[in-house]
Amino acid sequence: MTSTELTEDAVSAYLRQNPHFLASWFVEHADDDTLKTLARKLKQDAISLQASKSPLPPPVEPAPQKQQQQLQQQQQQQPQLRSSHNHLLTVQERSVDGQGDVTEPTSSEQSQSSDSNDRNLQKYTTFSKVSLEVGRNSITSMIFRKYLDGDRTRRASVKKDLDDLRRMSEEELFMELIRDIASELDVSVLCHKILQNVSILTNSDRGSLFLVRGSRDNKYLVSKLFDVTESSTLEQSIHTEANEIVVPFGVGIAGNVALKREPININDVYADPRFNQEVDKKTGYRTHSILSMPILNYEGEVIGVAQIINKITGNHEFTKQDEDLFQKYLTFCGIGITNAQLFEMSVNEFKRNQLLLHLARGIFEEQSNLEKLVQKIMLDAQDLLKCEKCSVYLLEDSFERKIDAQDIMRFTGRFLNRLGTYSRHSNLAVAMQDPSNPRLNEKDSSGPVKLRESPPTKPESVVFSKAFELHEGQIKAPSGLELAQSKHAYIARCTVVEGEPLNIEDLAKDGRFGKGPFTDASGFTSKSVLCMPIHNSERTIIGVTQLINKINGQPFDDNDEHIIEAFSIFTGLGIHNCQMYEHACQLMAKQSVALEVLSYHATASKEEAERFSLETIPTADDYRLYTYDFDDLAMKDDDTIRATIRMFVDANLINTFKIPYETMCRWVCTVKKNYRPVTYHNWRHAFNVCQTMFTMLYTGELRPKFDAVEVFALMAACLCHDLDHRGTNNAFQVKVASPLAMLYSTSVLEHHHFDHCIMILNSEGNNIFQSFPPEEYRRAIKILEHAILSTDLALYFKKRGDFKTLVESGERNFKEEEKKDLLKAMMMTACDVAAITKPWKIQKEIAQLVTAEFFEQGDIEKTKLGQKPIPMMDREKKDELPTMQVGFIDSICTPVYELFAKISDPLRPLNDGCASNRKHWEEMASGNSQDDNTDEQTGK
C-alpha cells in the first residue's frame, strides 16, 4: 500500500477485518495504563451493547416509586448509550457534515444499524477476549517473571507538576493520584507513592506508614516508610528489618489507631501523652500536628496505619475535610496494598514450592546414605528457612524398624499416588499427607511391623541416635554426650513427647526450659525456637526439625510453621526412603551372607548326636576341667565334645532346665561344625574359652553371684562367641567392604557370631533353651547377645574404667543388674584372652597359632589390597613381636586379671600366669631368653 492509498477509511476497513492484529499491536506498543483503560472501556461497551439488543427490559415485580424513577432514568439513557456506541463502532459508516457534526441516521439506516451493532458487538467482544488473553500471557507473566528474577525496577510515577495538579479540580486530582497507585505491585514502592500522594492531597509536610505483622493473637506494627516528604526518594525513606520501628497494638498514636480502627487527629502533639517527643529530639524536627488513619482491607481488618504530619498551610492543623479526603484515598490504598501483598505472597509461595520440588528431587537423587541425605536437604533449605541455626534430630527407634521388600513396594505405591494428587491441592505439603494410609487402619498381612510399643511420656526417655546442626553454612554432628547435655536437644525431646509443633517466642522468658541466657560454649545465644516433629508414612514420629533465631530477629510466625511443616514432611519422606534403600541393601547383604554360610556349614546329624548321647562321658577330673592350666592340645576332637558336655552336666544345667540330653549333644556337635578350620579362631579356641569360664565360675568361686540362667547363657556364649570366624578381624571386614561390614555397622564379627548362634538355636533339634518359659527365654537370649558382643575389645576398653572404679571402691557382690552386666562383660574378655595365663609351654604353642593367623591376614592386605598391614600382622616385623606382645599384655591382659585377683583370691592364678608369661616375653624382647623362637604372639 502506497502513501497515497493510506486513508482513514482504508485503515479503518483493514482494522475491522483484522481485529486480532489490532489487539496484538496495542498489547505490544501501548503502555499499561492505555491497555487497562481500553480493556475496561471495551468491557463496558460490550455490556451496554448487549443490553441495547433487547427492545424491552425483562419483566420485574412492581417496585417502589423511587426504584421506578431510577428504572425510567436508566431506560431514557439507553438511546444515548446506543448512539455513543454507534459513534465509536461505526464512525466510518455515518455521514459527517461540514461543521464536523454527526448526522443522525435515517429510519432505513436505523434498521441497518441494529445489524451493525450485532456485528460490532461480536467483533469487539473478540477484540476484548484476545486483548485480555494476550495480556495475561504476556504482561502478567512478564511482571511475575521480573519479580521472580529480583527485578523490582520502580515504575514511572505520574508527572507531579504541582502547578498542573493545583489547577485540577479535587475530583480530577483524586482520580489522577489513584491512577498513580492502581497498577503498582511492589509493596515498598506502593507505600512510598501513597505517602507522597497523600502529602499532595492534604498539603502535609511529611508522612509515615506502618504495616501489620505478627500472628493473629500477637499483632504489631512495623515502620515500612518513615518521614516521607514530597522530594524524598524510596531509598531514603524505607525501613529495613535492621532499623524498622516496632509498635505494639495499643501503644503510641499509631498503635492506638491500629487497635481501635479509628482515626486520630491531634492539633498539638506535645499536649498528647501518646506522642513520643524523643523522636523530635533525635531528628531536630518540630512536630505540631498529626493525622493518623487506619488502612483496612476488604474484610475491614487493619493491615496498616498511615499518618501525616504538619499541614503546610494555615496553623498546621488538619481539618475535617482533610480527614475525609485522607480516609477516602486510603480506601483505595487498602485495596492496592492488599493486592501488592497478595502478589508478593504468590511470588514467595512460588519460590517456596520450587524449592520444595527441588528438595523432592534431591530426596530421590541421594538415597544411599542417610547422613548425606539430611545434609543435602538442610543445605538446600537454607534460603527457605531464614534462620540462624537449623537442626534435625533422629530418634533411635527410627533405625530399629524392620522393613521387608513388600514394605518398600507398598510405600512407593502410596507415595506415587499422593504425588499424583498435587495438582488438586494448593500446597504440595497437603498432597504429601496420607490420611487414607491402610497401615493406620488395618493389620499388615505380611506380619507385624516392629515399632515403639507406646510413645514416651517423659523427655528423658526419648533417645536421639543422630543429630545434625546447620550453622553459618557448616554442618556438625553432635556426639552422644553433647546431645545428652544440650538444652536444644531437650526441647526437641519435649516436642517428641507432646507430638505437636513447639513455637517459643522468647526462650529466656518462657520458663519451661530453665533460666536464660541460653548461650552455648561457642557463644551462640538462642532466643526464639521452632520445633516440628518428623513423621514417617505410619505417622510415627521419627525425628524433630528445629529452627533457632530468625535472621530478622523476630519470633517465628504462622507462615514459618507452615514452611517448616512442609520441610519436615519432605525430610520424613527422605529419611523413610533412604532407610528403605539401606534396609534393601542390608537384606541383599544378609542373603549373600546366609547363602555363603549355608553353602559351607550344616547342622550336625542326628546320628552323630545319638552316638555321643549313648557314650559314657569321662569325669571333669579326668579332663582336668577345673584347673587353670588346662591343656587341650593333646585331646582329640571327640574328646573336646565330650568334655564340653561334661561341663554342662556338672554345672547341673541339663537337669535344672530339663534339656533333652540328645538335644544338648546335637547342639554341641553343630556348634563345633559351624567353626571354620582357620588357624586360631576355631572350635579349639571356643572350647578353651568355655573351659576358662567354667573354671572361673567354680574354681574361682564366682558361681554364687549368678543364677542358673546366667550361668547357662555365659557358657553357651563362650562356645559361640567366634562362630564362623574367617580368620580376619573387624578392621579387615570394613576395609574390604565385605557383606558382613554392610550388614553391621559396629562390632561386625561379634554381631555375626551372635546371629549365627541364633540361627543354630532355630535349627531343628538344636534349641537348648526350648524348655524355658517365654520370659526366661528372652532373658537368656539377651544375656547371650551381651556376652558375645562384649568380646569386642573396643567395647572392653569403654567398660574397663567403670569396672575398675567399682572394684577399687570395694564392690564384691555385684547384685545390681547394671553392675552384674559389667562383671559378665569383663569375664568374657578374661576368658577370651586366657591363653596368656597358661603355662609357658602351652602359651608358646598357642602364640605360634595366633601369629600365623595374623600373618595370613597381613599377607592378604599386602598382595590383594596393596596396603601395608599393622606391625602385629606384618610378617616382616616378626622380630618385633615379643615387644609388641609385652605391650598387648600391659594394655589388655594385666589390668583385667589384676582386678579379678582383687575380687576373689581363687582367681589370682590367672593374674600370676599372665605375669609369668609377661616376664618370658620381656626376656625375649631384650634378647636374654634362651628360647630362640620369636614367632610368638597371643591375644584375640
| 731 Cβ neighbours under 8 A, 6+ residues apart | none
Only one residue has cell 618385633, namely 880
Catalytic residue among 85, 576, 583, 681: 681
Of residues 92 and 848, more confidently modeled: 848
Report d(CA 302, CA 261) in Å as an integer.
Answer: 7
pTM: 0.48
> Residue 664 has what pLDDT?
96
Buried b (16+ CB within 10 A) or exposed e, 68-80: eeeeeeeeeeeee
> For the residues 272-286, what does the mean pLDDT come to?
83
> Residue 728, SS3?
coil
The x, y and z cell numbers of residue 225, run together, are: 516508610
The x, y and z cell numbers of residue 915, run together, are: 605375669
> Among the ranges 280-289, 825-834, 841-850, which has the highest mean pLDDT value?
825-834
Q: With contact defined as beta carbons under 8 Å apart, do 373 and 578 qualify?
A: yes
Q: Quick: pLDDT tens for 219-263.
A: 888 888 777 887 778 777 777 766 778 888 988 898 999 999 899
> Residue 538 has what pLDDT?
77
> Residue 679 has what pLDDT?
94
Report d(CA 915, CA 836) in Å as an integer.
Answer: 9
> For the residues 494-519, what does the mean pLDDT come to?
85
Residue 754 clears pLDDT 90, i.e. is over it: yes
Residue 362 clears pLDDT 80, i.e. is over it: no
> Residue 62 has what pLDDT?
43
Q: Kindly report which listed range (68-82, 84-98, 803-817) carries the lowest average pLDDT score.
A: 84-98
Q: Quick: pLDDT tens for 571-600.
A: 787 777 777 887 888 888 887 777 667 655
Q: What are the beta bridge partners of residue 246?
A: 222
Q: Kindly report which listed range (13-17, 65-69, 631-635) carries the lowest average pLDDT score.
A: 65-69
Domain map (residue ranges) of the chain: 3-53+71-91+108-148, 162-342, 366-585, 601-828, 833-940
Label residue 653 by pLDDT band (50, 70, 90): very high
DSSP state of 892: I
Written as one string, the DSSP assignment of 231-268 is: S--HHHHB--TTTPPEEETTSHHHHHHHHHT--EEES-
Q: Cα–Cα–Cα angle for 667, 742, 746, nearest 5°? A: 75
Is CATH 3.40.190.10 what the domain over 601-828 is classified as, yes or no? no
> Residue 336 has what pLDDT?
80
Written as one string, the DSSP assignment of 740-757 is: HHHH-SSSHHHHHHHHHH
Q: Quick: pLDDT tens for 392-410.
A: 888 875 544 444 444 444 5
Domains 162-342 and 601-828 equal at CATH topology level:
no
> Among the ranges 17-26, 72-81, 174-183, which has the highest mean pLDDT value?
174-183
Report d(CA 422, CA 587) in Å as an integer.
Answer: 33
Label residue 877 by pLDDT band (50, 70, 90): confident
Of residues 861 and 157, more confidently modeled: 861
> Residue 686 has what pLDDT?
97
> For the residues 518-524, what does the mean pLDDT come to?
81
Buried b (16+ CB within 10 A) or exposed e, 615-625: eebeebeebeb
> Residue 379 has what pLDDT?
74
> For the residues 727-733, what does the mean pLDDT come to?
92
Round the average pLDDT of the chain to a whole number and report it. 77
Identify the architecture of domain 366-585 in CATH: 2-Layer Sandwich (3.30)
> For the residues 791-796, what does the mean pLDDT come to?
94
Q: Kindly report which listed range (39-48, 873-882, 904-913) carries the lowest average pLDDT score.
A: 39-48
Residue 696 clears pLDDT 90, i.e. is over it: yes
- Compute, in degrees rounded to 10, the torsion defined by CA atoms 795, 797, 801, 807: 80
Residue 124 clears pLDDT 70, i.e. is over it: no
| Among 913, 717, 748, 909, residue whose Cα is nearest residue 824 | 717
> Residue 212, SS3?
strand
Residue 669 clears pLDDT 50, i.e. is over it: yes
Only one residue has cell 507462615, namely 559
> Residue 367 has what pLDDT?
67
927: left (phi over 0), alpha (psi -120 to 50) or beta: left
> Residue 774 has what pLDDT?
94
> Residue 3 has what pLDDT?
45
Of residues 602 and 259, more confidently modeled: 259
> For the residues 729-756, what does the mean pLDDT come to?
91
Residue 342 clears pLDDT 70, i.e. is over it: yes
Report d(CA 486, CA 483) in Å as an integer.
Answer: 5
Residue 687 clears pLDDT 90, i.e. is over it: yes
Distances (CA, A) of 164 to 161, 172, 198: 5, 11, 16
Q: Kindly report which listed range (11-25, 472-486, 805-819, 904-918) carries the lowest average pLDDT score.
A: 11-25
Of residues 72 and 664, more confidently modeled: 664
Q: Quick: pLDDT tens for 184-213.
A: 777 778 788 888 787 877 888 888 888 888
Q: With contact defined as beta carbons under 8 Å apart, do 295 and 304 qualify?
A: yes
**Which strands, in side-by-side order, build the sheet including 529-535?**
474-476, 464-471, 387-395, 541-550, 529-535, 502-504
Is CATH 3.30.2010.10 what the domain over 162-342 is classified as, yes or no? no
> For the residues 499-506, what does the mean pLDDT come to?
88
Residue 423 clears pLDDT 60, i.e. is over it: no
Residue 797 clears pLDDT 70, i.e. is over it: yes
Share of the chain above pLDDT 70, in %: 72
Q: What are phi and psi of 532, to 5 degrees?
A: -135, 125
Q: Cα–Cα–Cα angle for 577, 583, 586, nearest 5°? A: 150
Q: With contact defined as beta carbons under 8 Å apart, do 464 and 483 qualify?
A: yes
Give the helix ranges, DSSP H, for 699-792: 708-720, 730-735, 739-743, 748-761, 774-789
Of residues 206 and 707, more confidently modeled: 707
Label residue 645 by pLDDT band (50, 70, 90): very high
Helix axes 683-698, 637-650, angle to 10 degrees: 30
Stated as kind and residue range, the H or E segment containing 165 is helix 162-167
920 annotated active-site: no
Label residue 454 by pLDDT band (50, 70, 90): low
| 820 Cβ neighbours under 8 A, 6+ residues apart | 705, 706, 710, 814
Distances (CA, A) of 143 to 149, 185, 344, 698: 10, 9, 12, 89
> Residue 680 has what pLDDT?
95
Label residue 515 by pLDDT band (50, 70, 90): confident
Q: Quick: pLDDT tens for 911-929.
A: 999 999 999 999 998 877 6
> For the residues 862-879, what does the mean pLDDT come to?
89
Q: Kindly report which listed range (320-324, 528-532, 935-939) carries the lowest average pLDDT score.
A: 935-939
Report d(CA 336, CA 330) in Å as an integer.
Answer: 9
The x, y and z cell numbers of residue 666, run together, are: 546335637
Q: Cα–Cα–Cα angle for 86, 88, 91, nearest 5°? A: 75
Q: What are the beta bridge partners of residue 60?
A: none
